[in-house]
A and B are shown apart, each in its own frame.
Chain A
Amino acid sequence: MKKTNQMKKIIYAFAAIAFLSFAQSCKKDSEFLDKQPTSTLPIDAVWKDPNLVLTVVGDLYDRYPDYQTIEAWWTFAVFDEGFASASGDYFRHQNLEYGYDAWRYWDMGVYGYIRDLNMFIKRGQESTALKAEDRDRFLAEARFIRAGVYFEMVKAMGGVPLITTVLDYNYSGDPSYLQFPRAKETEIYDFVISELEAVKTILPDNPTVQSRATKAAALAMESRAALYAGSIAKYSNSQLSLPGGEVGISSGLANAYFTKSLAAAKEIIDGGKYSLYKKNPNLSENFAALFTDKGSNPEVIFAKDFKLKTNKVHGFTIDNQPRSSAEEAQGGRLNPSLNLVQSFEKLDNTYASMASVDGSGNPVYYSGITDIFAGRDARLAGTVILPGTQFKGKTVDIWAGYQLADGSIVTGDNFGQNKTNVLPGNAGSVQVVGADGPVDGLEFSAQSGFYVRKYLDPATGSGQIGTRSDVWWIRYRYAEVLLNAAEAAFELGDPTTAANYIKQVRDRAGLTVALTPAEITFDRIVHERKVELAFEGHELWDMKRWRLADKVWNGNNMSAADFINANNIGSATRTSTQVFGLWPYKYYNPGNANHLKYIFKVIKPSRVTAAHRFRIGNYYSSIGQDVLNGNPKIVRNPNQ
């Protein structure tokens, strides 16, 4: 009985297997081969569900271009804002000139991205399954991103082929119908501006949406793009132009662009939904928190957001945290330069070098290590970790050694090194250099005498490789909008309006003596953007559009004398080709009134061996030879 049962089971099993396999082979051959992939979704399925479309938009946002960003700290060391205190990056201070291909943003990847955007827009327009409001928002976001990509291209390359439809090759052997000439530089700027004008009313006008496109994000980008176009027109010269207009904007168009820039900025300002971040009464702490506070931050308009415990985190804090209090055995890479530090003006709106020596060249003795930085723009301590200030509740230990009465220096060659019997009258072991350096040539030490503070995450664990940081990268913020408005108004001959806008930004920095309209000059505007927007990816593009880059980075080397009692710090054309530092020393002379007081020395890190040289051919990056070979209609950029 039992046996029969078992037998039956086996038979049933066989029958089932046979049925399944025969049924399978009953399928038509075509169906057998034609399977839906399980790893990707078909297009029409995506366009039925707003959540699925959002994942596609998320990818498009993720590829949004940034040249300088907190995900690539070393890009901030390419010019004069910072020194790269990492042995693999010293070369950034050792190359004389920038290659003509530097900052190139035109390759297969960029046009592949534009093709994806165009394809997304086309499919969205064809889809019918989504609610109209959802669909319109997605399409407006894609157009916003596309405008951003073209803006990035025109900044780097000048006019580029303007492709707004999906192009397909027909395999006919003749690709010439796919070869488009470069549009004029003005045409790209006009496209960017008109696209943003078109989508601003579709996008949500909601200040709590900060990592997706909003009305204010569109207006902020429009304001910046129009300002760039306006200044390129105003400061144009015959060398930076091509006969076809691919590069160069006629100076007659300047005012029209400035007017557009001002109008876009005003629309955000008058909308009243955004304001400057003013949560902390300590102005320096407040300025630092502006970049790291992600909870109802009223200043942030458009940012690239990150999230802990996902793979969307970054290591800016790991790379750049003070070495002495670091949570991993690294940090300290990006060291702000003295060039930047001394640009922060004094509270009476005047410029001055850091007072390391007095007028007759004698060292100035300070009883506190931070005293030399007192009475300056509050943004200085919010942007830079100064010697003797704190990060994450720990005081950084930056001092270069002892200077003895005879002028000789006692120092070490490692973080916080101790030496025995090196100080006169003291046979014991003493620490001879700060735990954060500076030690010349020692990576991760504060080789310029400073560490960066902007974007450094104060959260516990942000400096650990296992945790990392989720501080966001702010692409557009309200203070820049105010500065755009101020600059556009100034260029339009309205310094009163300019003074009013610039005052709001300066008040927040503790510079309470307002600049009068007569004091608003071009140099003032250049300076204000330099200090407010340092380490935010503006410097290169600003210097390019003002046509100042070849004057400031002119390839002439500098000396310490340029940083001692300098009288041209506020000059927009001041040479700044090499990064310098300022090192504190303790004066050791028992019995002297200045014993153990601090003195400061202007130094050039020994790894800085060349002066940056920005050539006229660098204003527009060269176009790759592969692009030129592939499309005979492309003309080369000038002066290369």
Chain B
Amino acid sequence: MKIRFYFMIGALIAVLFASCKKDNYEAPEADFTGRIVYKGEPISVQYGQVNFELWQSGFGNYSALNVNVSQDGTYSAKLFNGDYKLVFSPNQGPFLWKKNAAGRQDSIAVNINGSKTMDIEVMPYYMIRGATLTAAAGKINAFCKLEKIITNADGKDIENVSLYINKTQFVDGSNNIATQQISGAAISDLNNLNMSVTIPGITPTQNYVFARIGVKIAGVDDLIFTPVSKIGF
């Protein structure tokens, strides 16, 4: 009987000690944050639609970490310390990414050692300048100018310019309650774009909307936007 008792205690200790073993990796701790910018100005995009890839070599099979860019052009990721390569895959975002001599997307070396903030410089096809969004008489009126940044052979035409309004802060083609669109063919003067959209009834009632302007560039998936502005009426 005694032997069996000791045996049981022994087994119990063995089990308890086994679970004391460290069996988890530590969580990543370094914050990697910043914005995508053109000459210091952040580039606003659609939520959850633009991302870049971080590649790290030396750990078995290659695969990328995708980092999403938020509506206002900021990003943030939790990473382990180490050396990464940062690259936008082709056709991500309303901008061009520099290419290497072989014509592939070039990468930026990023060394993470503790938290790091970095602005990523890109070359947008267009920039929206001097945008104003105002409310008047049950409508949202918008004015903006467009500056064509890429004017060489890589430049692209405008497919359309849209004014979106929504009741929440996420405002884009798939999150809106009303839109007004000008097609690219109908634009005569890039420095004088005016749009206006009637605010539809909102339930429950609220006396403000969120609005922004998006520019769709022909042959580019992602739109470039103005920052979201909250407009009371």
Contact = CB atoms under 8 A, between A and B. Distances in A.
A97 interface: yes
A638 B174 contact: no
Contact of A617 (B48, B173, B221): B221
Contact of A639 (B62, B90, B103): B90
Interface in B122-180: 173-176, 179
Interface string B29-52: 000000000000000000011000
A104 interface: no
Nearest to B49: A97
Given A556-B173, A610-B174, A625 B219 contact: no
A554 B179 CA distance: 15
Contact of B174 (A555, A615, A626, A640): A555
A616 B219 contact: yes
Given A239-B219, A550-B221, A616-B221, A557 B173 contact: yes
Given A625-B61, A626-B61, A638 B173 contact: no
Interface string A621-640: 00001101100000000111
B117 interface: no
Nearest to B173: A556
B174 A611 contact: yes
B174 A616 contact: no
A96 interface: yes
B89 interface: yes
A243 B103 contact: yes
Interface string B64-98: 00000000000000000000000001110000000
Contacts of A477: none
Contacts of A629: 61-62
Contacts of B179: 556
A626 B90 CA distance: 20
B113 interface: no
B176 A557 contact: yes
A251 to B, nearest CB: 16
Contacts of B220: 616
A206 interface: no
Contacts of B219: 237, 239, 616
A638 to B, nearest CB: 6
Interface centre among B49, B62, B63, B90 (most CB of A within 10 A): B90
A137 to B, nearest CB: 44
A613 interface: yes
A626 B63 CA distance: 9
Nearest to B62: A629
A554 B61 CA distance: 34
Contacts of B62: 625, 628-629
Contacts of B48: 96
Contacts of A97: 49
Nearest to B200: A559
A639 B105 CA distance: 11
A582 B62 CA distance: 49
A96 B174 contact: yes
Contact of A638 (B49, B90, B175): B90
Contacts of A615: 91, 221
Nearest to A638: B90
Interface residues of B, number: 17
Interface in A585-640: 610-611, 613, 615-617, 625-626, 628-629, 638-640
B91 A554 contact: no
Contacts of B175: 557
Interface centre among B49, B62, B176, B221 (most CB of A within 10 A): B221
Contact of B91 (A237, A613, A639): A639
Nearest to A639: B91
A625 B62 CA distance: 7
Given A625-B62, A629-B61, A640-B89, A557 B174 contact: yes
Nearest to B221: A615
A557 B46 CA distance: 14
Contact of A625 (B63, B90, B173, B174): B63
Contacts of A611: 173-174
Contacts of B176: 557
Contacts of A557: 173-176
A639 B96 CA distance: 12
A640 B103 CA distance: 15
Contacts of B61: 625-626, 629
A544 to B, nearest CB: 15
Nearest to B216: A554
Nearest to B222: A615
A285 B61 CA distance: 56
B216 to A, nearest CB: 9
B58 to A, nearest CB: 14
Nearest to A97: B49
B32 to A, nearest CB: 22
A550 B159 CA distance: 13
Interface in A527-572: 550, 554-557
Nearest to A243: B103
Contacts of A610: 174
Nearest to A618: B221
Nearest to B90: A639
Contacts of A613: 174
Contacts of A243: 103
Contacts of A554: 173
A629 B55 CA distance: 14
A555 B172 CA distance: 9
A481 to B, nearest CB: 34
A628 B89 CA distance: 15
Contacts of B91: 239, 615-617, 638-640
A556 B174 contact: yes
Contacts of A616: 91, 219-221
Contact of B90 (A96, A556, A640): A640
B103 to A, nearest CB: 7
A617 B103 CA distance: 18
Contacts of A239: 91, 219
A628 B103 CA distance: 19
Contacts of A626: 61
A611 B173 CA distance: 9
A96 B221 CA distance: 13
A563 to B, nearest CB: 17
A485 B103 CA distance: 41
B97 to A, nearest CB: 12
Contacts of B49: 97
A39 to B, nearest CB: 37
Nearest to A615: B221
Interface in A94-108: 96-97
A638 B89 CA distance: 9
Contacts of B174: 96, 555-557, 577, 610-611, 613
28 contacts: A96-B174, A97-B49, A237-B219, A239-B91, A243-B103, A550-B221, A554-B173, A556-B173, A557-B173, A557-B174, A557-B176, A577-B174, A611-B173, A613-B174, A616-B91, A616-B219, A616-B220, A616-B221, A625-B61, A625-B62, A625-B63, A629-B61, A638-B91, A639-B89, A639-B90, A639-B91, A639-B221, A640-B90
Given A611-B173, A616-B219, A639-B90, 18 more contacts: A237-B219, A239-B91, A243-B103, A555-B174, A556-B174, A556-B179, A557-B176, A577-B174, A616-B220, A617-B91, A617-B221, A625-B63, A626-B61, A629-B61, A638-B90, A639-B89, A639-B91, A640-B91
The 4 closest A-B pairs by CB, nearest first: A639-B91, A556-B173, A615-B221, A611-B174
Interface of B: 48-49, 61-63, 89-91, 103, 173-176, 179, 219-221
